[in-house]
């Protein structure tokens, strides 16, 4: 009969209306500022700089290699190298960033900086409440604002952080073993193996440079 479908539809919406008062499955709204749904572990918003230990300036992993600066598609990273050097996590003296700034308003959360970083120094944060009423200074984050401890990293991305830590520990162990072996070799025989390994180790580091210049020339 004519109009039957309308009555059926009205019944359906009435059921929805009444159901939203009693059933939690129908009313799926999460009232955001008061309640939050948990973020997925792989969520990412904005990069931060990782440091080891408690002193952010001393423990900063970044060595100011500027790969991320060159790879960043929207060019939102600005790095200035330091003149002096400080020891990194394996104890090797490295230069560190005298300035490291990221513009929040430009960053597009692509995570490329994280993927190209050879030192596991830059990671993605999950904090999305970045709004500010200062649209110039407030949107440009400096070194200090970007620094986050390794514990914080563990708290937001536990799986990934564990992997990173394992990799770093492995590398450190390798370096230490190599140092020990080199020391042992130096003590025993003429140095043949280090000369063979040095070019192989240098190759991956020098590789990104041509890419970056290519991108810049475009």
Binding site for another protein (CB under 8 A): 1-3, 6, 9-10, 12-14, 16-17, 19-21, 26-29, 31
Token output for 91: 């104890």
Q: How far is the CB of 31 from another protein (least distance, A)?
A: 7
Question: Which one, 8 or 207, has the nearer CB to another protein?
Answer: 8
CB nearer to another protein: give 34 or 134.
34
Please, which residue, 36 or 207, has the CB nearer to another protein?
36
Residues in the chain: 218
Rounded to whole angstroms, how far apart are CA atoms 163 and 148? 18
Q: How far is the CB of 106 from another protein (least distance, A)?
A: 30
Backbone angles phi, psi at 37, to 5 degrees: -85, 145
- Kindly state the smallest distance separating residue 27's Cβ from another protein, in Å: 6
Least separation in angstroms between CB 36 and another protein: 16
Residues ≥6 apart with Cβ < 8 Å to 105: 135, 139
Shorter beta-carbon distance to another protein: residue 27 or 166: 27
Which among 57, 77, 59 has a CA at the least distance from the CA of 68? 77
In angstroms, give the least distance from the CB of 25 to another protein.
Answer: 9
Cα–Cα distance measured from residue 81 to residue 99, given in angstroms and rounded to the nearest whole number: 7
Q: What are phi and psi of 132, to 5 degrees?
A: -150, 160
Residue with Cβ nearer another protein (3 or 199): 3
Q: Copy the structure tokens of residue 49.
A: 């700089």
Rounded to whole angstroms, the Cα distance separating 103 from 121 reads: 18
């Amino acid at each position: 009969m004519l109009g039957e479908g309308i009555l059926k539809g009205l019944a359906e919406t009435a059921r929805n209306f009444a159901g939203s008062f009693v059933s939690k499955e129908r009313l799926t709204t999460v009232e955001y500022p008061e309640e939050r749904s948990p973020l997925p572990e792989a969520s990412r918003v904005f990069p931060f700089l990782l440091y080891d230990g408690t002193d952010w300036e001393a423990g900063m992993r970044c060595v100011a290699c500027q790969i991320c600066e060159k790879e960043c598609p929207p060019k939102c990273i600005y790095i200035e190298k330091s003149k002096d050097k400080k020891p990194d996590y394996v104890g090797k003296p490295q230069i560190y960033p005298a300035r490291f700034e990221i513009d929040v308003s430009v960053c597009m959360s692509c995570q490329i900086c994280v993927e190209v970083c050879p030192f596991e120094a830059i990671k993605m944060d999950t904090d999305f409440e970045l709004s500010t009423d200062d649209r110039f200074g407030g949107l440009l984050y400096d070194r200090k604002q970007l620094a986050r401890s390794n514990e914080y990293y563990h708290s937001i991305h536990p799986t990934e952080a564990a992997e990173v830590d394992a990799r770093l520990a492995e590398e450190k162990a390798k370096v230490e073993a190599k140092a020990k072996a080199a020391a042992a070799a130096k003590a025993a025989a003429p140095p043949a193996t280090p000369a063979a390994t040095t070019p192989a180790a240098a190759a991956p580091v020098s590789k990104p440079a041509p890419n970056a210049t290519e991108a810049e020339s475009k």
